[in-house]
Chain A
Amino acid sequence: DAKTTQPPSMDCAEGRAANLPCNHSTISGNEYVYWYRQIHSQGPQYIIHGLKNNETNEMASLIITEDRKSSTLILPHATLRDTAVYYCIVSLSGSRLTFGEGTQLTVNP
């Protein structure tokens, strides 16, 4: 599976959009981009995944560049409960996931 690179930490003001970047320059054509998040001392929670097209669900939007070498997870209106570690994962399937160290997002009041 392709390796991903994420900033170790980011801050965001409550109510503003949080944009979390992820680089995956070695991604292959059939690998998906997955995003999970983990609130402190809890199990991770699935957010969204995509292959080529941008995706949106009730939690977030996923923007994948045309060359697929990077992506951005967007939380449109961040709340304090969105404070968590966000993991960007590239995988052929939803099963063999490799979780890196992720990005610690802190939403400030």
Chain B
Amino acid sequence: DGGITQSPKYLFRKEGQNVTLSCEQNLNHDAMYWYRQDPGQGLRLIYYSQIVNDFQKGDIAEGYSVSREKKESFPLTVTSAQKNPTAFYLCASSIAEVGTYEQYFGPGTRLTVT
């Protein structure tokens, strides 16, 4: 089945630790995205990538970092600098960053930092 995989579904970390969230897609999409969702709110864009080895900050990039070494993979690191890391994190991909292509979303990772 083609789609987006995010693992794990639930992740628990202690405050002060960096944590990396996985996102893999086998849709052969060029563009990939990371969003954050807090309870009762909409999604906010953290980072996006149009192509391998290139990525841009979204609306709330502070405290996060990404890499795009392979077309299929776009991992997100939540660093200790992120003040409120507990949230639902969603990865998405689309055929390209330009144009009107729809985004396909993964199932999400729920991160809890205590």
Contact = CB atoms under 8 A, between A and B. Distances in A.
Interface of A: 32, 34, 36, 41-46, 49, 87, 93-102
B66 to A, nearest CB: 15
Given A95-B48, A95-B97, A46 B42 contact: no
Interface in B62-94: 88, 90, 92, 94
Given A45-B105, A102-B42, A94 B92 contact: no
Contacts, number: 62
A96 B45 contact: yes
A49 B108 contact: no
Nearest to B96: A95
B97 A46 contact: no
Contacts of B54: none
Contacts of B92: 43-44
A94 B33 CA distance: 12
